[in-house]
Amino acid sequence: MVVCKRIYEPSSSKDGYRVLIDRLWPRGVKREEAAIKEWLKELAPSSELRRLATTDKNKWAEFQRRYRMELSKPELQPTLERLRKIARSGTLTLLYAKRDTQHNNAVVLKEVLEEGL
């Protein structure tokens, strides 16, 4: 199972394997309190794409398309498959910092991971 959660929400034993998928460390979050297993910056959208996502919600479809293209790079496939394996055996929680819970990279990454389950 794959779930998305803001890193600012308290961690829970139900979260399972917690992975931060943002390129930048979230403001105000102490590393020791984040309770993450991994920080996978390489799965975060490129800086250019991140700016597109934060400036215009009307470009959500374009963001999704371009982010999926970035995630299709061959060098990312082993990491994506490893995360799918974790999700098959328990809960994988994708952590993100953005306030918008419906338009963020975790939502797209969750879809990509679930397509391969």
Which of 41 and 51 is assigned the larger pLDDT? Answer: 41
**Cα-Cα end-to-end distance for the chain:** 9
Question: Tokens for 103?
Answer: 């338009």
Domain count, the chain: 1
Question: What is the pTM for the complete model shown?
Answer: 0.92
pLDDT over 80 at 55, yes or no: no
pLDDT over 90 at 117, yes or no: no
**What pLDDT does 53 receive?**
66
How far apart, in Å, are the Cα atoms of 103 and each of 31, 40, 59, 98? 25, 19, 10, 9
**What pLDDT does 43 receive?**
97
- On whether the CB atoms of residues 22 and 50 are closer than 8 A, the answer is no
pLDDT tens for residues 23-44?
999 999 998 889 999 999 999 9
Which structural domain, as residue segments, surrounds residue 39?
2-115
